[in-house]
Amino acid sequence: MELHVIERSANAFQQGLTERQILAVARRAFGPGTEVRSATELGGGMYNTTYRIDLGGREEPVVLRVAPEPDRQFHSEQELMRAEYASVPWLAPIADLMPRVLAADFTQAVIGRDWMIQSFLPGTPAPELLGSYPKETHGAFFRQMGEITASVHAVAGPWFGPVTGPGHARWSEAVVTSLRLISEDVEGCGLDAADLRKAADAAQAGAQVLDEVAVPRLLTGDLWTVNTMLAAAPVPTICGVLDMDRTCWGDPEADWTMRMARAKQDARLAFFDSYGRPEETEAGAWRRHLYEVRHLGALRLERHRLGNEAGVEDSYGAVAEELAALI
């Protein structure tokens, strides 16, 4: 087997597999006689460890995604791969854009970690190709993003919160629980989470405003440019969507995709040409401030995990601005 890895420090969050582990996974998925010709670790993601696997007797490569070890996962991010697997039937509206799940093993009996094998999507990662197109064509990309997001948000679910549960009858319960889990994780890293706890208290106090959201909708979790593949075409054309492991049930306005669509006054505003323009209300604006605190709390954790101390520090000022609009 040819093994190509990304060099990482011994204490890095993402940890690779040995040749023996990769072979064991492949044989668990495809049978004891399976031959692995090569395994190439892929970059781009910051959570799971991902490989392109070329198998003997199979023309098309496959993608192996391996979750972090259970004790390395934050409570607010536990079992994300299992959430993605459970989301597949609900993501039927965009099934033609997504990789197919070929095998999955959550027993942790083979390598002590959850893993999933998916089909290999053609195309080029959008971050590598989008910038090569003239800026006046970028609106086409974001209009497609709006269409994809709208089709996901159109799916109604059984409860608020994680796709795999525990579910909540009210949106306010799901938001408060999420903020408190993030707060606990931040404190577990030795960081101050008082601002996030204030936001959780504000969410509890504003439960009536949150509970105006009465229908749980499927949220993509973190869909944006980094999670898309582009086809070779005259204008940016999305041909694939990846890594839907942060899906949940909630208010579409709480989705990361909506946050990013509003982040700059540029070509991304074309997103709303196809998605539609949500009604602007005082209650909706208040909820968006709260959702932004949740996003910033999750970013604080990610930046800490990556050793980005300046980014962690910046998050406190950003949260303070949002809290000022909440309290």
Domain of 275, CATH number, reads: 3.90.1200.10
At 96, which CATH number? 3.30.200.20
Helices and strands in the chain: count of H runs, count of E runs: 11, 12
Is the same domain home to 249 and 130? yes
Is the same domain home to 230 and 150? yes
Residue that finishes a domain, picked among 86, 119, 152: 119
- Alpha-helix runs per DSSP H in the chain: 19-30, 80-87, 126-129, 138-153, 171-188, 194-205, 207-210, 256-261, 271-275, 282-305, 309-326
How many Cβ atoms from other residues are within 10 Å of residue 63's Cβ?
18
Residue 327 pLDDT class (50, 70, 90 cuts): confident
pLDDT in tens, 245-289: 999 999 999 999 999 999 999 999 999 999 999 889 999 999 999
Is the same domain home to 211 and 259? yes
Instruction: Point out which residues pair with 51 in neighbouring strands.
Output: 41, 64
pLDDT in tens, 39-79: 999 987 889 999 999 999 888 999 999 999 999 999 999 99
Is the same domain home to 188 and 268? yes
Is the same domain home to 212 and 316? yes
Residue that finishes a domain, picked among 119, 154, 188: 119
Query: What is the signed CA dihedral for 138, 142, 144, 150, rounded to 10 degrees?
Result: -170
Residue 187 has pLDDT above 90, yes or no: yes
Contact criterion met (CB below 8 Å) for 109 and 274 = no
Is the same domain home to 63 and 147? no
Is the same domain home to 97 and 148? no
**Ramachandran sector of residue 264 (left: φ over 0; alpha: ψ -120 to 50; beta: rest):** beta
Residue that finishes a domain, picked among 54, 85, 119: 119
> What does the alpha-carbon distance between residue 276 and residue 11 come to, in Å, rounded to a whole number?
45
Is the same domain home to 270 and 164? yes
Is the same domain home to 19 and 162? no
- Alpha-helix runs per DSSP H in 77-170: 80-87, 126-129, 138-153
Quote the pLDDT of residue 2: 95
Residue 11 has pLDDT above 90, yes or no: no
Average confidence score pLDDT of the chain: 96
Quote the pLDDT of residue 51: 97
Comparing CA positions, the residue from 123, 73, 113, 111 lying closest to residue 228 is 123
> What does the alpha-carbon distance between residue 97 and residue 166 come to, in Å, rounded to a whole number?
28
- Domain range for 6 is 2-119
Is the same domain home to 146 and 253? yes
User: How many domains does the structure of the chain reveal?
Assistant: 2
Residue 214 has pLDDT above 90, yes or no: yes
Token pair listed for 317 = 């000022």
Token pair listed for 243 = 């890594």
Is the same domain home to 160 and 301? yes
Is the same domain home to 115 and 128? no
Residue 188 has pLDDT above 90, yes or no: yes
The stretch 207-219 carries a mean pLDDT of: 98
